Structure 1
Amino acid sequence: MRQIGNLLLAAAMVLCGLAPGVGGAQSFKAPVRIVVPQAPGGGTDIVARLLIPGLSRELGQTVIVENRPGASGQVGTQVVKNAPPDGSTVLFAVDHSLIIVPLTVPGVRYDVTTDFVPLGQAVRTFWTLIIPPNAAYSDFKGYLAAVKRDPMLRSYGVPLAGGAPSVIGNAIGKSAGVEMVQVPYQGSAPVLQNVLAGQVPAGLTGMPEAMAAHRSGKARVIAVSGTERSPLLADVPTFKELGVDGLGFHTFLGFFAPKGFPPALAQAFNAALRKALADPAAQEKIRQMALQPAPTTLEEANREVGEMTAFWKAALGARQ
């Protein structure tokens, strides 16, 4: 009788969707496709592939990465927007392509707040202001004084036009009472190279690109974005500390699903992601890339997307 009772209980759990794996990880369609809207080998791609083993283990499904680069992330993002919300396709993207690109590029056909479901963040990083190692000044105060005095020092290299670099450059110019000049490059690597060579007086790059050069003495990071100092560059003050307002933002990499994604699947993916990020080996590799592990709940991810969207709309002067 006890055996029969156990069988009936198990059957009832299955029917109610309470049995282990039912209505959760096993509801994902294999293979789960993680679309990365950047080329293979870049930072976003590397982090995605780093998390694949943990996600596969926790979801109980094969997980693969599919790179769909193009148009500042628009191509891959559009692929996921148009995908069925059945657990087969998920986007892994930087906030720039999801939030800033639609605000700055005409004709973008997606909106992060209406077309996607945030599944959780993975990592975050910050923007850095770098100067050549042989500059006559060694800190932000000295840089600001030099910019006021010498128009030749008012240009700065950026890895992309618009977005965070423009906002930071404008804020620096406002603090100095001058107009700064943006010099666009194709990515952070050439920005760093030209700063090191003294071809451009300063540059704005992500922390992963700048940290190694700063630590080796090949360049100087004199300020970072964010509300508090990064533990990865604890010796560098934030713009906020230095009296420059409006630069308390960071950059994040996160997972998103198409609109209509079932809440149960979102919860299952978020739980799997947080477990994958809790792996000490994964955390160490992430930190070696000068990134910070940044797991969030679904509620935290939704709130941050809303806050970041509102911030960039105001910062970029976009109409709401």
Structure 2
Amino acid sequence: MNFTRIVSHFMGLACVALAWAASAALAQDAYPGKTMRIVVPFPPGGASTDGMARAFAEELGKEMKTTVIVENRPGAGTALGALAVKTLPADGNTLLFQADGLYNAKLATPNLAYEPSDFEIISPLAQTNYAFIVPAAKGWNKLEDLKGLSRELDVGTLGIGVSSYSILARRMAAHLGVKHRMIPYKGGVEGVKAVLAGEIDGYFATVGLTQTLKENPKVRILAYTGSPGRNSFFPGVRTFHELGMTDMVFNSYYGLAVRADTPEKIKAQLARAVRKVVQSDAMKAARQRLHLEDYIGSTEDYRRDVARVFKLYEAEIAEEARRAK
């Protein structure tokens, strides 16, 4: 009798386990099954980040047959957005808008409660270059006008620590023979506003953001980080490379990531849907509208590019530490 009870007990447990497994499998089969979200670790209003995320969310919603919302979580050098995604379920319903500087906050503050390996890139979205803009009231009409500046050049940056902004500013200052100081902002829109108000001397604005200023008399565009011969955005503006600063060719990359521990079946399904949307005519038109370039390459190529830039940031931090001694 006791043996019968024991067998019955374990059979009951087995049935419960099978039911749980079946439920989990059904949840994956029914994916997404609820509203999805894209967490953007930058403020609303930025053409290259917020604009790209919202255009993509609309098209992804059509593909996934669900609502996809954009949730802006700016602050702490993008750490707030990354931490928000890490604390949400790894069910594929929350995506992280990924930029090459996403993990800079972790480099600057190692004790932050996440690792880059907590997230897995599932697709590139676009890429862009930067234009260096200055207040017109400063009277600088070309980059050479900054040579011999007797004070520090105040340049805006996103968040804290090393970033593409700080690297570009350091290289430019070295070429010009001037000292510089980085002034942090939460997003590109805030940086541009500071230029318009004359609060800072310059800012490396993305192409999309700079396009909104082309006709603004309060701003001057002095140079552009694009490759030689590919300046289709700013007629008449020379690239840094053309001005002899060959280490100033720089792309910023945008993509999407999920929690790395998301079930493989869901990641594969999501990656297929995302790539289909990214390559659609609607998203190609959106990138053109936002003055972003297509990323030419595979997801693996993109991961390698992001890893390369991350290594660049690590090397920059090491160099800063060396210079501080």
TM-score, normalized by length of structure 1?
0.75
Q: Which residue of 1 aligns with 2:125?
A: 122
SS state at 2:38 partner? strand
After superposition, the Cα gap between the structure-2 partners of 1:138 and 1:24, relative to the gap in structure 1 and judged at 3 Å, is: farther
Q: Which residue of 2 aligns with 1:156?
A: 154
SS state at 2:204 partner? strand
* Aligned pairs (5 A) from 1:100-111: 100-111=104-115
Distance (Å, rounded) in 1 between the aligned partners of 2:275 and 2:85:
22
Q: Which residue of 2 aligns with 1:247?
A: 248
Q: Which residue of 1 aligns with 2:15?
A: none
Alpha-carbon shift at residue 136 of structure 1 (Å): 5.1
TM-superposition CA deviations, 1:184-214 (whole Å, max 9, x none): 4564445434544655443333333322323
Q: Give the aligned length.
A: 291
User: For the Cα contact (< 8 Å) 1:274–1:296, is it kept in 2?
Assistant: no
After superposition, the Cα gap between the structure-2 partners of 1:159 and 1:312, relative to the gap in structure 1 and judged at 3 Å, is: closer
Alpha-carbon shift at residue 306 of structure 1 (Å): 1.4
TM-superposition CA deviations, 1:244-283 (whole Å, max 9, x none): 2433332222110111334443343233223323444443
Q: Which residue of 1 aligns with 2:20?
A: none
After superposition, the Cα gap between the structure-2 partners of 1:56 and 1:102, relative to the gap in structure 1 and judged at 3 Å, is: same
Q: Which residue of 2 aligns with 1:3?
A: none
Alpha-carbon shift at residue 130 of structure 1 (Å): 1.6
After superposition, the Cα gap between the structure-2 partners of 1:243 and 1:270, relative to the gap in structure 1 and judged at 3 Å, is: farther
Identical pairs, percent: 27
Q: Which residue of 2 aligns with 1:90?
A: 95
Q: What code does the residue aligned with 1:249 have? A: F
TM-superposition CA deviations, 1:124-175 (whole Å, max 9, x none): 22222123446655333x23xx422x314x4133043542222122112211
Q: What code does the residue aligned with 2:82 have? A: T
Q: What code does the residue aligned with 2:153 have? A: S
Alpha-carbon shift at residue 24 of structure 1 (Å): 9.1
Distance (Å, rounded) in 2 between the aligned partners of 1:167 and 1:209:
20
Structure 2 segments unaligned to the other structure (5+ residues): 1-25
SS state at 1:314 partner? helix
Confirm whether residue 275 of structure 1 aligns to residue 280 of structure 2: no
SS state at 1:240 partner? coil
After superposition, the Cα gap between the structure-2 partners of 1:23 and 1:224, relative to the gap in structure 1 and judged at 3 Å, is: farther
Structure 1 segments unaligned to the other structure (5+ residues): 1-21
User: For the Cα contact (< 8 Å) 2:147–2:177, is it kept in 1?
Assistant: no
Q: CA RMSD in A?
A: 3.3
* Aligned pairs (5 A) from 1:259-298: 259-294=260-295, 297-298=298-299
After superposition, the Cα gap between the structure-2 partners of 1:305 and 1:215, relative to the gap in structure 1 and judged at 3 Å, is: same
User: For the Cα contact (< 8 Å) 1:24–1:268, is it kept in 2?
Assistant: no
Confirm whether residue 53 of structure 1 aligns to residue 58 of structure 2: yes
* Aligned pairs (5 A) from 1:1-320: 27-43=31-47, 44-96=49-101, 98-112=102-116, 114-133=117-136, 137-140=140-143, 142-143=144-145, 146-148=146-148, 150-152=149-151, 154-160=152-158, 161-162=160-161, 163-185=163-185, 187-196=187-196, 200-228=200-228, 229-233=230-234, 235-294=236-295, 297-317=298-318
Distance (Å, rounded) in 1 between the aligned partners of 2:79 and 2:94:
16
SS state at 1:223 partner? strand
After superposition, the Cα gap between the structure-2 partners of 1:199 and 1:299, relative to the gap in structure 1 and judged at 3 Å, is: closer
Which of these two proteins has the greater Rg computed from alpha carbons? 2
Distance (Å, rounded) in 2 between the aligned partners of 1:314 and 1:282:
35
